[in-house]
């Protein structure tokens, strides 16, 4: 049965959910105070992977995310694979064994093979892991792509308005109140990233999130020289389709737990650019831009997905949204359409923060 569903948030998670809900025949409205991918989704490193995970359940969700991206068939996703050489010695062996135990596509390679794959990289590891199933997504473009799919299936977008609250009656949501008026809703999906806690708190829903600033640098374009995403010691790096390089300033971006920048944005950017230049010394690299976003990281680091509070309220907030968006869009639409529960989402329900 078709429902009136309001999706709050036009980042990659909200856009993917809206697309699948609209394709399922629901009456969907997407609301965002700024516009598509205006926050973290448009300022993301964009690495789609399951080689970084918290536990077995998290690995399964992320691996399903990769499969869902392939089903999505989106443009602006590059299936380049990754080269991981962040650690050597025992750390390397542990990583390889873990991935093999999970049957994750992984190929140990030696220095000569690495040089064949990436001849412009000067820092040659003794050994590396090639992860051929991994990809990179251009955050702004794929978000726009999902929104276009949603709108092609009848969804509407309302941008430039503030969400003032969610009205309820008899224990169920009834309207989303915005600065442009109230929208009736049978279901409200809050996928507003770091803004989610403030939206759901008045409804008695506690969602604790960490403060996690993320800084990225983009260089000016050079001819294509890098074929894979690199996860090098102290630096992650990829080359964009237009020839520019994109790199986090944090030496260990995936596991970065800093709540504040440790130096000025300019100093961090110059340090990161120097690390990139050491990897690619034959390239004349110069800084084009620095971008910062606050990553939506729940208190325990794991996704928050599921119903909470009054009937009809549903939350979907997580990091990394870029890896998980495609599978989250599928599963949330299934739950809201069919009324069932997805096993992959069982560990990530909002109720774990209510105690």
pLDDT of residue 1: 77
Average pLDDT over residues 139-143: 97
Tens digits of per-residue pLDDT, 180-210?
999 999 999 999 999 999 999 999 999 999 9
The domain boundary, picked from 276, 294, 312, lies at 294
pLDDT reading at 24 higher than 90: yes
| 119 and 230 in a common domain | yes
Q: Which of 294, 322, 344 is the last residue of a domain?
A: 294
- Secondary structure (DSSP) of 27-88: EEEEEESS-TT-SGGGG---EE-SSS-SSHHHHHHHHHHHHHHHHHT-TTEE---EEE-S--
pLDDT of residue 260: 87
Q: Please say if the pLDDT value at position 253 is more than 70.
A: no
Q: Residue 258: what pLDDT? A: 76
Does residue 288 share a domain with residue 226? yes
25 part of a folded domain: yes
Flag whether pLDDT at 355 surpasses 60. no
**Strand pairing class (313-317; 172-178):** unpaired
Is residue 25 located within the same domain as residue 155? yes
CATH number of 233's domain: 3.30.9.10
- Tell which of 277, 294, 311 closes a domain: 294
Which of 16-20, 137-141, 234-238, 351-355 has the weakest average pLDDT? 351-355
The answer to whether the CB of 131 falls within 8 A of the CB of 63 is no
pLDDT at 150: 98
Residue 68 lies in a domain: no
pLDDT at 138: 97
Is the N-terminal amide bond of 320 cis, ω within 30° of 0?
yes
> Do 204 and 236 fall within a single domain?
no
Same domain, 273 and 153: no
Token pair in block for residue 153:
């299936």
Q: Which residues does residue 129 pair with via DSSP β-bridges, in sequence order? A: 84, 108
Domain count, the chain: 2
**290 in the same domain as 226:** yes
pLDDT of residue 353: 86
Torsion of CA 123, 126, 131, 137, to 10 degrees: -10
Separation CA 53–CA 63 (nearest Å): 10
227 & 122 share domain? yes
Location of structure tokens 């993301």: 44
Least confident span in 74-78, 249-253, 297-301: 249-253
Answer whether residue 71 is part of any domain: no
Q: Are strands 245-248 and 304-307 parallel, antiparallel or unpaired?
A: unpaired
Q: Where in 134-212 does DSSP place strands (E)?
A: 135-137, 156-159, 163-169, 172-178, 181-184, 187-190, 209-210
Distance between CA 179 and CA 172 in Å, rounded? 22
Identify the domain containing residue 341 by its residue range.
4-43+139-209+299-353
Answer yes or no: are the C-beta atoms of 311 and 173 closer than 8 Å: yes
Q: Is residue 51 part of a domain?
A: no
Same structural domain for residues 205 and 218?
A: no
**What confidence score (pLDDT) does residue 130 get?**
98
CATH number of 201's domain: 3.50.50.60
What's the rounded mean pLDDT across residues 29-49?
94
In a domain, 73, yes or no: no
Question: Has residue 273 been placed in a domain?
Answer: yes
**Helices marked H in 73-138:** 90-101, 111-117
**Could you tell me if 147 and 279 lie in one domain?**
no
Residues 198 and 153 in one domain: yes
Q: Does 179 share its domain with 273?
A: no
Interval 276-287 mean pLDDT = 96
Convert the pLDDT of each residue in 79-127 to its tens digit.
999 999 999 999 999 999 999 999 999 999 999 999 999 999 998 999 9
Question: Are 8 and 128 found together in one domain?
Answer: no
Distance, CA of 246 to CA of 146 (rounded, Å): 23
Domain presence at residue 282: yes
pLDDT of 285 above 70: yes
* Residue 49 maps to a domain: no
Q: What is the pLDDT of residue 66?
A: 98
191-to-1, 7, 44, 178, 352 alpha-carbon distances in Å: 23, 7, 16, 16, 18
Whole-number pLDDT of residue 250 = 87
């Amino acid at each position: 049965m078709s429902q009136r569903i309001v999706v709050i948030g036009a980042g990659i998670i909200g856009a993917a959910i809206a697309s699948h809900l609209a394709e399922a025949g629901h009456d969907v409205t997407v609301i965002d105070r700024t516009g598509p991918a205006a926050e973290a989704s448009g300022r993301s490193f964009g690495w789609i992977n399951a080689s970084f995970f918290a536990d077995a359940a998290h690995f399964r969700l992320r691996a399903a995310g990769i499969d869902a991206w392939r089903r999505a068939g989106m443009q602006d996703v590059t299936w380049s694979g990754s080269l991981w050489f962040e650690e050597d010695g025992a750390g390397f062996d542990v990583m390889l064994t873990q991935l093999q135990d999970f049957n994750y596509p992984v190929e140990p390679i030696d220095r000569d093979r690495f040089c064949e794959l990436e001849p412009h990289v000067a820092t040659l590891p003794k050994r590396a892991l090639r992860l051929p199933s991994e990809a990179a997504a251009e955050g702004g473009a794929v978000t726009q792509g999902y929104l276009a799919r949603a709108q092609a299936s009848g969804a509407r977008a309302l941008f430039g308005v503030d969400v003032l609250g969610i009205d309820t009656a008899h224990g169920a949501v009834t309207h989303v109140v915005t600065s442009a008026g109230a929208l009736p809703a049978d279901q409200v999906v809050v996928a507003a990233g770091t803004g989610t806690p403030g939206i759901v708190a008045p409804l008695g829903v506690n969602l604790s999130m960490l403060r996690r600033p993320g800084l990225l640098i983009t260089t000016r374009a050079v001819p294509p020289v890098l074929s894979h995403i690199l996860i090098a010691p102290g630096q992650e790096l990829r080359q964009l389709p237009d020839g520019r390089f994109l790199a986090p300033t944090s030496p260990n971006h995936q596991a970065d737990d800093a709540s504040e920048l440790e130096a000025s944005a300019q100093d961090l950017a110059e340090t990161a650019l120097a690390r990139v230049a050491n990897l690619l010394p034959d390239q004349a690299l110069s800084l084009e831009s620095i971008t910062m976003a606050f990553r939506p990281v729940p208190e325990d680091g794991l996704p928050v997905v599921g119903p909470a509070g009054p009937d009809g309220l549903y939350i979907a907030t997580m990091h990394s949204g870029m890896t998980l968006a495609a599978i989250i869009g599928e599963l949330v639409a299934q739950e809201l359409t069919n009324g069932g529960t997805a096993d992959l989402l069982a560990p990530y329900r909002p109720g774990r923060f209510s105690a």
